[in-house]
Chain A
Amino acid sequence: MKTLIIENIDPKKIGELMTVSQKFCEIPDIIALGDGPVPGKFGKVWQTPKTVAANLISSVVNIIQEEKYEIILMSVSTLGTGLAGPLSATLSAPVVTEVTAIHPDRVVERPIYGGKAMIKQKLESTPAILTIRRKYFEPATLDGTTASTPLSLDADKVRLVAEKNEQADGIPLEDAAVIVSGGRGVGDKDSFALLQAMADQLNGAVGASRGAVDEGWASPTRQIGQTGKIVAPDVYFAVGISGASQHLAGIANSKCVVAINKDAEANIFNRARFGLVCDYKKILPLLTEAVKEKR
């Protein structure tokens, strides 16, 4: 099936979509957003430095119609989400977002109810639009680059005034082998320093639940879960996190979850490999010290 990827120039994101595309075609085409060479081997490549979804719709629609694409792939992001609905409406195309598995015969699978259930749906017509949840498909290695032609665009509907990167220095959450994550149970912003100290000892990164982000204790770029980052560390320390299904949706592929929670009934213990029922403030400094001694 003729497949088009629409993605920012980011080798991991494009790599994951490349893996997905192989379920539908041999070599996909791509609309690549951002500056610099487009990594990987593609059929046709269009490129633009513009990345605001609302400004891309009409030209993307033209390309899909002219080239008769059958499958459109994007990852779950402000770009993918910004395009999925509008493309579906203009092209009268079925759209399925947050896809986690692709089965034969155009059957796709995705979580609903915060990951408490999985729904299987069959795409009954083309073009069909899919956004793919991060970290569910192994990124393909992208060999070389492919030359692009510029994507022509109409005048901007939405003006990009400024863009701020608020990612913390150090290991990105998505790549961290160890994550120490804090929730509303951490109690205040300053106490996140205890989590940072522990993460530093383990060469890890600090994450947060939506509870902690809503309190203003952690930046939204640290949020883990269904509507935050999807992570897959070897060890995930959940500190003062209740373990709502929407949070667990972001750590489904973690190898070992260690839960520290003072409520023995907290749902996080149903996902954990090791559990400590206590006040995290008592155990975390001791744990950090023990790691330090062992190194």
Chain B
Amino acid sequence: MHIVVLAKVVPDYLVPSMDFELKDNRAHERYSRMLGLYDENAIETAIQLKEKTSAALSLISFGSENDVQFLRKAAAMGVDQLILIKGQSDDAAVIAQNLMAAVKTLGPVDLILAGQQSADMDRGVVPGILAQMLEMPFIPQIGYIDSKGGEWAVTQITATGKRELEFKGPGVLSITSIPENVPRIPVVRAIFAAKKKPVTKLESINQGKMALTELGVEIPKTKSICEFIDVEDMNAAAKTLLTRLTEERYI
């Protein structure tokens, strides 16, 4: 069995809005880089599945050579093989076509996991495009995965609850976070071993872009002045807050 996980290295997504700056319409390069949050959930889910099914596990990323150092964290967590497609584009169709080309170099695969959303473009589109190009079903927001009698049994986390779904054959799933897929912290020995792991590097293929023109990126202006309520006397603080909320007719 062969499982593939798709992950992207992104600028630090916890930089607060106040400190956020753009350069050439993208996050300033001074921010540190890391694996996307949901991509780490996907990696953790894939590793758990690998442990259950003795599958081989490959990670594919489309990005710059500089990303390799951050992708190694996935190897330290338990990914067997790292594949980097060297390229630069935020176009979802271009990314999906490149990911597809890399998937095809692996021969038959049984399951492809992605993050629910990338932590920079925030869109949840790439895995759905890839799935359709590979003629596989796409199911978003999956929490739990089980392999059951040659089929996949998965749990989708929806806005109102959960759905149990089953399908046969390969598919593309986007992974959401659940308490059970909080990414493991790799042990020191694994971090060192991951540093020596060879990384397969592929050249990007030049593919057609989506019919979308980027007109501009702006940082929205927000102004909020926080009135700090003195908490020396907690009882008084509670009453003051309530009075202020009533005065301003919020309650």
Residues of A that sit less than 8 Å from B by CB? 52-54, 57, 77-78, 81-86, 88-90, 92-98, 107, 110-125, 128, 157-167, 178, 202, 210, 213-216, 220-221, 226-227, 229, 234-235, 243-246, 248, 255-259, 267, 269-278, 282-283, 286-287, 289-291, 294
B197: interface (CB < 8 Å) = no
Contact: B158 with A77, CB < 8 Å?
Answer: yes
Q: Given known contacts A52-B165, A81-B124, A97-B124, is B139 in contact with A275 (CB within 8 Å)?
A: no
Q: Is B17 an interface residue (CB 8 A)?
A: yes
Contact B162 A164 (CB under 8 A): yes
CB neighbours (8 Å) of A243 from chain B are 16
B residues neighboring A (CB under 8 Å): 11, 13-18, 20, 22, 25, 27, 38, 92-93, 96, 116-117, 119-133, 137-141, 143, 153, 156-167, 171, 174, 176-179, 182, 210-220, 222, 224-229, 231, 234-235, 237-239, 241-242, 244-246, 248, 250-251
Q: In the assembled complex, which residues on chain B have CB atoms less than 8 Å from the CB atom of A121? A: 212-215
> How long is the Cα–Cα vector from A216 to B143 in the complex, in angstroms?
13
**Most A C-beta atoms less than 10 A away, residue of B125, B220, B246:** B125
> Would A78 and B141 count as touching, CB distance under 8 A?
yes
Query: For residue B214, which residues in chain A have a CB less than 8 angstroms away from its CB?
Result: 119-121
Besides A273-B227, A286-B238, A289-B238, 19 new A-B residue pairs in contact (Cβ under 8 A), listed by A number: A78-B159, A81-B128, A82-B128, A85-B127, A94-B211, A97-B124, A98-B122, A113-B122, A119-B214, A161-B153, A213-B179, A245-B17, A245-B20, A270-B222, A271-B224, A273-B225, A275-B227, A283-B234, A287-B242
Cα of A210 to Cα of B217 in the assembled complex, Å: 27
In the complex, the chain B residue whose C-beta lies closest to that of A88 is: B129
Residue of A118, A122, A221, A277 near B160 (CB, 8 A) is: A221
Q: Select which of B217, B218, B251 is within 8 A of A234 by beta carbon.
A: B251
How many inter-chain residue pairs (CB < 8 Å) link A and B? 280
* Contact between chains at B215 and A107 (CB < 8 Å): yes
Q: Is the CB of B228 within 8 A of A275?
A: yes
Residue of A nearest to B127 (CB): A85
B138: contacting residue among A86, A166, A226, A246, CB under 8 A:
A86
Cross-chain pairs A/B with CB under 8 angstroms, 20 sampled? A82-B139, A84-B124, A88-B92, A93-B211, A94-B211, A114-B119, A117-B219, A117-B220, A120-B217, A160-B165, A213-B179, A221-B159, A245-B13, A273-B226, A274-B227, A274-B241, A274-B244, A276-B231, A282-B234, A287-B242
Cβ contacts under 8 Å, A165 to chain B: 160-161
Contact of A82 among B140, B160, B178, B248 (CB under 8 A): B140
Checking B128, B165, B226 against A85 with a beta-carbon cut-off of 8 angstroms, the contacting residue is B128
Question: Are A234's CB and B20's CB within 8 A?
Answer: no
